[in-house]
Structure 1
Amino acid sequence: MSDLRIRAAGPEDLDAVLAFWKVAAEGTSISDDRDGVERLLARDPDALLLAEESGELAGTVIAGFDGWRCHLYRLAVHPDRRRHGIGSALLAAAEERFVRLGGRRGDAMVLLRNETAQHAWRAAGYAPEEQWRRWVKPLTT
């Protein structure tokens, strides 16, 4: 992992990121399209972090901060590169970003059915808040 590089994604990375999520992310989201990710980068150009190893995309995380809360989405590591510290490096970079922005607590969106992710988040020091249940309503434009 000596050549691991973490950087913010740019518009030129969007097609590669969307293709990567189809391989590395567990499930898809309504906003997993070019328009959705373009809006993310327009709103917060440094939110989508990429991990590159040997020049290839190895992982992603969205580290969104709305001025009040720090939100983590789309932590994904290529299946062939898991358990090598890439996810930990992405989370460290996201947490450093949050601290620089004045954030005080990070929360992660994790599918209940994704047991692999549940274990990874626990290992990273995140704990489920059982008293909260997330309510979701897809919005259409």
Structure 2
Amino acid sequence: MNDLDIRCAAPSDIAAVLRFWREAAEGTSITDDHEGVARLISRDPEALLLAEQDGRITGTVIAGYDGWRCSAYRLAVHPDRRRQGIATALMDAAERRFLALGGRRIDAMVLESNERAHRTWGSAGYHREGHWRRWVKSVRP
């Protein structure tokens, strides 16, 4: 895909990323706001990867690494651009990042109800671990 550019998000991209997620991503999070994305970019400037074509965001993935685990979040591709290799290109970029940082295993957050995402992750070599469940608690100041 010669016209696809993958780069790290900058603070100037935050509004466009939030608009993109409303259109292309499934599910919402307490951190889906300007402050949450700004904090991510400030803490780890290389974590939020953007795929662009013709200057427009066509895909995203958050490739977070805390020094122990590699975590992939918010893999999303614009509905008009799906099945064109964008998700694969984003995950390849995320995996290169993780390897460069010394990561050894990637955990992906995938909604149980998102069958399309299950197929995408499965075709990329990931498998569901049925013996784990995610436990969450939202905290606010």
TM > 0.5 between the two?
yes
Unpaired segments of 5 or more residues in structure 2? Answer: none
Q: Which residue of the partner structure matches residue 49 of structure 2?
A: 49
* Counterpart-to-counterpart distance in 1, 2:132 and 2:28: 23
Once the two structures are TM-superposed, the CA of residue 132 in structure 1 deviates from its matched residue by 0.7
* Counterpart-to-counterpart distance in 2, 1:135 and 1:16: 30
Q: C-alpha offsets along residues 93-119 of structure 1, whole Å, 9 cap, x if unaligned?
A: 000000000000101001111111111
* Counterpart-to-counterpart distance in 2, 1:83 and 1:16: 22
* Counterpart-to-counterpart distance in 1, 2:53 and 2:79: 14
Q: C-alpha offsets along residues 18-49 of structure 1, whole Å, 9 cap, x if unaligned?
A: 00000000121111000000110111000000
Once the two structures are TM-superposed, the CA of residue 81 in structure 1 deviates from its matched residue by 0.1
Runs ≥4 in structure 1, deviation > 6 angstroms?
A: none
Give aligned pairs, total.
141
SS at match of 2:120: helix
* Counterpart-to-counterpart distance in 2, 1:55 and 1:134: 36
SS at match of 1:20: helix
SS at match of 1:92: helix
Matched-pair identity in %: 65
Q: Counterpart of 1:116 in structure 2: which amino acid?
A: R
* Counterpart-to-counterpart distance in 2, 1:19 and 1:52: 14
The CA RMSD measured in Å over matched residues stands at 0.7
Q: Which residue of the partner structure matches residue 117 of structure 2?
A: 117
Q: Counterpart of 1:14 in structure 2: which amino acid?
A: I
Instruction: Spell out the pairing of 1:1-141 with structure 2 (5 A cutoff).
Output: 1-141=1-141
Unpaired segments of 5 or more residues in structure 1? Answer: none
